[in-house]
Amino acid sequence: MIPELGHFALILALVVALVQGVFPLVGAHRGYASWVALARPASRLQFLLLLVSFSCLTWSFLKSDFSVLYVAQNSNTRLPEIFKFSAVWGAHEGSLLLWALILSAWTAAVTLFGRSLSPLMMARVLGVLGLVATGFLAFLTFTSNPFERLVPAAAEGRDLNPLLQDIGLIMHPPMLYMGYVGFAIPFAFAIAAMLGGRLDAAWARWSRPWTQIAWVFLTLGIALGSWWAYYELGWGGWWFWDPVENASFMPWLAGTALMHSLAVTEKRGAFKAWTVLLAIFTFSLSLLGTFLVRSGVLTSVHAFASDPSRGLFILLFLAAVVGSSLALYAARASKVRSRVHFEPVSREAALLLNNVILVVTTVSILLGTLYPLIVDALGGGKISVGPPYFNAVFIPLTTPLVILLGAGTLARWKRDRFADIWAKVRLAFVASLVFGLAFPAVAMGGFSWRAALGMTLAFWVFFTTLKAVRDSARGRGIGGLSLSQWGMALGHLGVGVFIVGVTLTSIYSTEKDVRLEPGDTYELGGYLFHFKGTTHLKGPNYEGDRGEVVVTREGEVVATLYPEKRNYLSGMPMTEAGIDAGLTRDLFVALGEPLGDGAWAVRLYHKPFVRWIWLGALIMALGGVCSALDRRYRVLARRQREALAGGVA
Amino acid sequence: MKARHLVPLIVFTALALLFGYVLVKMNKGEYNPREIPTEFIGRKAPAVEIPWLYDRNQRVSSAKYAGKVWLINFWGTWCPECWKEHEFLLHLSRQGVPIFGVDWRDDDQEAIGFLRSKGDPFDQVGVDPRSDLAIEWGVYGAPETFLIDAEGVIREKHAGALTPEVWNTKFAPYFLGREAVP
């Protein structure tokens, strides 16, 4: 009964989304006030229905109702409760339902926080979001129904993929979807602005906080995924340039470009058409990611159960959404005129260059991701494009971006001079060079040019950001900085922290695959690893072995690590690494294969500063939150509300 | 309308056409990105000798199939896809197709109960609790079925539930001219 209720709510939500997508848009075009007025209640009703639907699916999981096919395939009575809950989005159908729920939640949030939008603009925004939702809900209903019954019901379920039975994975997909789907909001604002024929600074001001929040979620989602891959897969890596990773990274890069170009459009009224294009581009990449992951056209570790007929549906949907928005763009962009001028040396120019570099980087990653597909489809055989390509492209492109970051944040709007900028950054430049060159030799105990370059860039970001903070605080004290200025500073500091992590981890990490018998010791990175042997392990839905490794440094015990090798009931072996985390280094032990007589193949890692990678992402995200909470968005909203109320009175 | 504003649309259209082309090829079965050519096709089948499901002290062996076409099927009661194909396996067995079942990483009592209640399609059925055999055969997931010809060479492999369509295109031809034609 409950699954049918959920299914029914899902179908109703599809109908409501269609109403939300069609009537307000037509009404806004023709001037039917009653049709325009449908937008808001329809959006909220759609959210409510999807909430009911999602709750029903969750209920089926918690009650282990194996008469529902999706539940039988992804859950098991022996699965711990928390994973029964997260199993709801553990595979294609449920995660798509979560995606639709999140989209409707974002839409409902627009109806709440966007009260000062003009009714026409609101109707268009909600209408566009309604059409996007219609596509996803139709996809769910017609090709991926999570409520399909299994007759006869199964006695026991198959179990959730053991890879997904982890705390990091409970949060990773929802965060990512919040990010992906969040970019639908600036997209809808851009389309609505084009439909209304008013591409001015106002739409940029409206989209900016939404874009920032979506970006924060995406940042956290990607960081969580990377962190999870690091400790769960037992590979010790944190990024693999896997097609599905790239699928989340591309919207992130484009979204980063969008945040920066929105700043220019809002403050200076420049880049209007470009910003609209970026908003379309960012959301298209989110949709493209969905297509690549779920159609099965690319092979990846993130193997969703794929089905080419689903792929065709998403492709048609993608073509409809992106094709029509780009056609609209082609028709409207020529009429947009930016009457704003700026010199080649100015904050605008720096941000323009930032956008160019970010977009070129995005396109290079897109090319690398799709290249195997193109070659294979044209009969060129199976090839794989891996880290060598991506690193060779990514690092040379982002190095100038980081240099630009330091100079750009200190440049004036409209017009500046090289000499003036140089005067501001001189000290930071010299200091970062000195610290950058000295750091590898002094702190890491071994000089390397690559490390020196990375650290110089990181110090450059730190020092120029501090300088920018000091300059803005001049005369009003550090407390006088606006949240938006804090946001920028934190965002950039996060980039610096991230660079430190990446540089030092990739250059100074040491790893060793060794055969250890109980009682053996091995020295790595100044630490002694004592292997005490393994004991048998029995969990709720797995069995396995658990090793004990005592790590000492100069005779003192630093940590005792318990790496595990688990065999899940579903037949899948899993490695749980034993990790001692620290701000300056991680010690990492993973069990390989048993070699007989109590001996094991053991993988040992010493990873300096690896935590800084995720710490950097966290700081960046914090910066995004600060910016989105800036006073001026709230003041603006209030002022417009008052103006509106005044106008009526 | 200026030409340069059409550029994004044109690039996107080209990309969408490429995806469409790939998907159509995938739907026709001409292209499968996940199909990693298995090394096992055309190789001599490894000899199988594993404990019998109903009594682990006895063993079942593939030796009795010498000179015959036979199937080996990896399954488990934990695998819903296996329940799906069960009916079809029963049908095949009634037609006289010898199927060697390998109960993979399973609870013996549950497996016996399963076969008692739903019928036993297997000519003989053994257990592989530690994946030794599955690894030897390069099994990717359950269910997976291999066809071995009269010379003892692996000729076909199917990952996923067996269906009449799969059977007719991939497996049935090997039984033509013999008595076991379902």
**Is residue A284 a contact partner of residue A185, using CB atoms and an 8 Å limit?**
no
pLDDT band for position B127 (cuts 50, 70, 90): very high
Question: What is the DSSP annotation of B62-106?
Answer: GGGGTTS-EEEEEE-TT-HHHHHHHHHHHHHHHTT--EEEEEES-
- In angstroms, the separation between the Cα of residue B58 and the nearest Cα of chain A is 24
- The reply to whether B97 and B161 lie within a common domain is yes
Same domain for B82 and B171, yes or no, is yes
Four-CA torsion A81, A303, A542, B114, nearest 10 degrees = 90
Tokens at residue A631, please? 């006073």
Q: How far is A293 from B177, CA to CA, in rounded Å? A: 44
CB A462 within 8 A of CB A493: yes
Taking a C-beta distance cutoff of 8 angstroms, is the pair A229, A240 a contact? yes
> A276 pLDDT exceeds 80?
yes
Residues 6+ apart with CB under 8 A from A202: none
More confident residue, A573 or A37: A37
Residues B21, B97 share a domain: no
As a whole number of angstroms, the distance between CA A376 and CA A382 comes to 6
Query: In this complex, which of B8, B76, B104 lies closest to A326 when CB atoms are compared?
Result: B8
Q: Which of B6, B33, B83 sits opposite A299 (nearest CB)?
A: B33
pLDDT value, residue A635: 62
B136 occurs within a structural domain? yes
pLDDT score at A48: 97
pLDDT in tens, A545-577: 899 999 999 889 999 999 988 877 766 667 788
% of chain B with per-residue pLDDT over 90 = 16
Position B42 in a domain: no
Q: Tell me the average pLDDT across A252-279.
A: 92
DSSP single-letter state for residue A532: E
Tell me whether B1 touches chain A (CB under 8 Å): yes
Instruction: Provide the number of structural domains found in chain B.
Output: 2
Q: What is the mean pLDDT of residues A77-89?
A: 87
Mean pLDDT of the region A619-646: 75
B87: closest CA of chain A, how far (Å): 13
Q: Is A520 exposed, middle or buried (0-12, 13-18, 19+ CB in 10 A)?
A: middle
pLDDT tens digits, one per residue of A442-486: 988 888 999 999 999 999 999 999 999 998 888 787 888 889 899
CATH number of the structural domain spanning residue B130: 3.40.30.10
Kindly state whether residue B60 falls inside one of the protein's structural domains: yes
Chain A partners within 8 Å of B25 (Cβ): 377
Chain B residues with CB-CB distance to A281 below 8 A: 8
Q: Alpha-carbon distance A6 to A101, whole Å?
A: 13
Q: What is the pLDDT of residues B44-81, one digit of tens each?
A: 888 888 999 998 888 999 888 888 899 999 988 777 67
Tell me: do B59 and B85 sit in the same domain: yes
Residue from B4, B9, B27 to probe the interface with A (highest A Cβ count within 10 Å): B9
Residue A648 in this model has a pLDDT that exceeds 50: no
Average model confidence (pLDDT) across chain A: 87
Question: Could you tell me the residue ranges of all domains in chain A?
Answer: 1-165, 180-414, 417-508+617-649, 510-608
Cα–Cα distances in angstroms (integers) from residue A184 to residues A257, A332, A427, in the given order: 16, 20, 42
- What per-residue string of b and e applies to A244-254 under the rule 16 or more CB within 10 Å gives b? bbbbbbbbbbb
Tell me: pLDDT of A280 over 90.
yes
Contact by Cβ (8 Å): B80, A73 = yes
Q: Report helix, strand or coil for A128.
A: helix
Of B13, B26, B76, the CB nearest to A571: B76
Candidates B86, B127, B79; CA nearest to A155 is: B79
In the stretch 442-481 of chain A, residues with CB closer than 8 A to chain B read: none
Q: Is residue A72 predicted with pLDDT exceeding 50? A: yes
pLDDT at position A602 is 87
Q: What is the dihedral of CA A633, A637, A640, A645, to 10 degrees?
A: -160
Higher pLDDT, A200 or A552: A552
Whether B41 maps to a domain, the answer reads: no
| Set of chain B residues whose Cβ sits within 8 Å of the Cβ of A376 | 31, 33
Asked if A326 and B9 come within 8 Å (Cβ–Cβ), the reply is: yes
Residue-wise pLDDT tens digits, A223-241: 998 988 887 765 567 888 8
* pLDDT given for residue A161 in this prediction: 67
> What pTM value is reported for the model?
0.80
Residue closest to A614 by CA, chosen among A229, A96, A167: A229
**Do residue B132 and residue B80 come from a single domain?**
yes
- Candidates B5, B34, B141; nearest CB to A329: B5
Three-state DSSP class for A166?
Answer: coil
Does position B178 have pLDDT exceeding 60, yes or no?
no
- Indicate whether B61 and B88 sit together in one domain: yes
Q: pLDDT-based confidence at A286, cuts 50/70/90?
A: very high
Angle between helices A272-295 and A243-268 (to 10 degrees): 160
pLDDT more than 90, % of chain A: 52
pLDDT (average), residues A48-69? 94
Angle, in degrees to the nearest 10, between helices A39-62 and A92-113: 140
Are the beta carbons of A294 and A230 closer than 8 angstroms?
A: no
Shared domain for B74 and B143, answered yes or no, is yes
User: Which residue among A158, A273, A319 places its CB closest to the CB of B78?
Assistant: A158
Pairing of strands B99-104, B70-75: parallel
B12, B67: one domain: no
Torsion angle, CA of A129/A133/A135/A138, rounded to 10 degrees? -160
Has residue A165 got a pLDDT over 60? Answer: yes
CB-CB neighbors (< 8 A) of B79 in chain A:
158
Residue-range definition of the domain harbouring residue B30: 1-35
Three-state secondary structure call for residue B50: strand
What value does the mean pLDDT take over residues A325-331?
A: 93
The sign of the CA dihedral A527, A533, A535, A541 is positive
Distant-in-sequence, close-in-space partners of B24: CB < 8 Å, separation ≥ 6: none
